[in-house]
Amino acid sequence: MKYKAGEYEVIVIGGGHAGCEAALASARMGCRTLLLTLNIDNIALMPCNPAVGGPAKGHLVREVDALGGEIGINTDQTLIQVRLLNTGKGPAVRAIRAQCDKKFYQRKMILTLESQENLTVKEAVVEKIISRGDKVRGVITRNGAEFKTQTLVLTTGTYLRGKIIVGDIKYSGGPSGQQAAVKLTDSLKDLGLEVGRFKTGTPPRVDRRTVDFKKMKEQPGDTKPLRFSFMSEGIIRPNVSCWLTNTNKKTHEIIRSNLHRAPLFSGTIEGIGPRYCPSIEDKVVRFEDKESHQVFLEPEGMDTYEMYVQGMSTSLPEDVQQQMLRSINGMENVTIMRTGYAIEYDIIWPVQLHPTLETKNIKGLFTAGQINGTSGYEEAAAQGILAGINAALVVKEKEKLVIKRSEAYIGVLVDDLVTKGIEEPYRMLTSRAEYRLLLRHDNADERLTELGWKIGLASKERMERFFKKKKIIKRELQRLSTFKIKPGNKSLNEMLVKRGTAPLKKVITAAELLKRPEISYRDLKNCMDDWPDLDPEIEFQVETEIKYEGYIKKQKEQVERFQKLEDKKLPDWDYMQLEGLSREAQEKLNKIRPISLGQASRISGVSPADINVLLILLEKRKRSGSVP
């Protein structure tokens, strides 16, 4: 029996990392927002490793934060270890990674949601999406509640017809023993959306009291202050170590002798799994020449003995999981607290989406997170904030937001999904970004905070901090370009020789000296009197801007050239009727419906010759004012 339960401007289905960002974004932009979740206690659940960040993923977190999102703030408040990765490599691939207190992370995010103005949180199982014509109108829950809305954001994660698999045991369910959303997939199909099936997995969790850490290598966090959010200041958190060990020949023998019981190889698993995060049985088979694989033991929180066994994701039977864990150095007497498992779930193929994350056939319906075929909390949060922003902009009858590849990793992520499509769970990598020197984690605020302010999401305080930082960087760059250093500085010359570079023989500016690859900003600071005391992150950004000035300029010029194609907007043509295009190009263009010539050029199967045909047609259209 249906009953009218309320009306909202934006409804978000799902309380994972995408749902949290989507709901907070639309509410902070002034829209009456409803978040519907299967279980309020599991909002912001980290069913896999309770860690945030890393290369590319950390960049996404910084970008979400710069726009006015929450994942960075919440991570800073709940982390128990933090590290800066790739410090020996170039600035484009350096990134922060944090281990979080799993339960604390959830509690803080739930309180943030419940405290947010314009946002209502309800526990409910959504079974049907209501539409009228080509527009979304609302949802109906299992209990018969009907909620009306102007826009709907689906962030269902791995819960759509979720199936847990351990050995030959299969049952309906979501991550960590939760219920699955069974009927919603049928509603998506009724709306004309094409659905696929993916798979992911998680390793066992073990009791830290049964681990011999003396046989492992300690992995401590950094002692210097690191933060994800540009708003975080003075947060003091614990620094809890992780531990490194390895699988061995015996481990691999146990796995190989039980492959006939492995769902991945027995045909029990139907969904496509992630290439970049394979199960241990998959790694042993694919890399049979390797005698060992790294295994990290990582704490799940301050108030639990549970430890996450990174690198041992598996769906092997429970008895085999215990055997292989106990074959590993330091884990000879380990006790499993939670069994590893695989989970299959439904997705929608993301080529059915516009770059705004709105579905092409149903107006006002947005999707974000793992339903779009991605993996990872960070990718989910990035899509969530974009979908939430655009849902709010639809309500406000304003132009929807498209983030370019040259502006952010968020733009790369979304463009890859909607333009290139996917065949496996998508993971963000720095190699996917062609302009990654411009898209560093340290300058995310420079790229996106003003955009967040313009659309009404970034706060006044955030803007003030951004302008203050921008002013300091500009002033320091100017100072270094005019600050003269004389060759008579003894401590400086000793430092230069020690670094393997020539001592000064003539007067040069600090900026000129800093261009030497062997010299850091901190090196100059240690050798000079009256040197300003800046935030380490500002020091890094200043140093990067000077050292990589030529490369940065070159990438900006590439962006400007490519932008000419992005600026050429494509009309809603029936490409099957356009002469001169290859048959493959006609089919791909008709399916993806690119918004610009730039997007069309990135579609697999659309050749440079096809792009030239589109260019000619656009010129004819411009001159005649008619559509071919």
pLDDT at 356: 98
State how far the Cα of 247 lies from the Cα of 333, in Å rounded to an integer: 15
Helix (H) or strand (E) holding 196: strand 195-202
**Cα–Cα separations (whole angstroms), residue 79 to 18, 51, 204:** 19, 8, 22
**Cα–Cα separations (whole angstroms), residue 292 to 4, 213, 339, 408, 553:** 59, 19, 22, 37, 44
pLDDT at 171: 94
pLDDT single digits (tens) 16-26: 999 999 999 99
pLDDT at 386: 98
pLDDT single digits (tens) 399-430: 999 999 999 999 999 999 999 999 999 999 99
State how far the Cα of 3 lies from the Cα of 444, in Å rounded to an integer: 46
Please identify, in words, the CATH class of the domain defined by 3-47+108-200+345-433: alpha beta
- Tell me: pLDDT of 489 over 90: no
State how far the Cα of 470 lies from the Cα of 453, in Å rounded to an integer: 15
- Indicate the residue type of 323: Q
Q: Give the angle 434-600-560 at the CA atoms, nearest 5°.
A: 45
* Beta strands, E only, 461-592: 484-485, 508-509
* CA-wise closest residue to 174 among 382, 342, 373, 318: 342
CA diameter of the chain = 88
pLDDT at 317: 96
Residue 506, classified by CB atoms within 10 Å of its CB into exposed (0-12), middle (13-18) or buried (19+), is: exposed
pLDDT at 265: 83
State how far the Cα of 30 lies from the Cα of 41, in Å rounded to an integer: 26
Distance of CA 451 to the CA centre of its chain: 19
Mean pLDDT of 158-184: 93
- Tell me: pLDDT of 120 over 70: yes
The band of 453, judged by pLDDT with boundaries at 50, 70 and 90, is very high
- Tell me: pLDDT of 183 over 80: yes
Residue carrying structure tokens 């419906």: 593
For the chain, the average pLDDT equals 94
pLDDT at 52: 98
pLDDT single digits (tens) 513-572: 999 999 999 999 998 888 999 999 999 999 999 999 999 999 999 999 989 889 999 998
The token pair at 231 is: 């708003």
Determine whether domain 205-341 maps to CATH 2.40.30.260.
yes
- Tell me: pLDDT of 628 over 60: no
pLDDT at 626: 59
State how far the Cα of 550 lies from the Cα of 555, in Å rounded to an integer: 9
Please state the domain extents for the chain: 3-47+108-200+345-433, 205-341, 472-549, 568-624
* First vs last C-alpha separation in the chain: 52
- Tell me: pLDDT of 476 over 70: yes
Residue 392, classified by CB atoms within 10 Å of its CB into exposed (0-12), middle (13-18) or buried (19+), is: buried
Q: Check: CB of residue 156 under 8 Å from CB of residue 216.
A: no
The band of 277, judged by pLDDT with boundaries at 50, 70 and 90, is confident
Percent of all residues in the chain with a pLDDT value above 70, rounded to a whole number: 99
Architecture of domain 472-549: Orthogonal Bundle (1.10)
Residue 439 three-state SS: coil
Please identify, in words, the CATH class of the domain defined by 568-624: mainly alpha
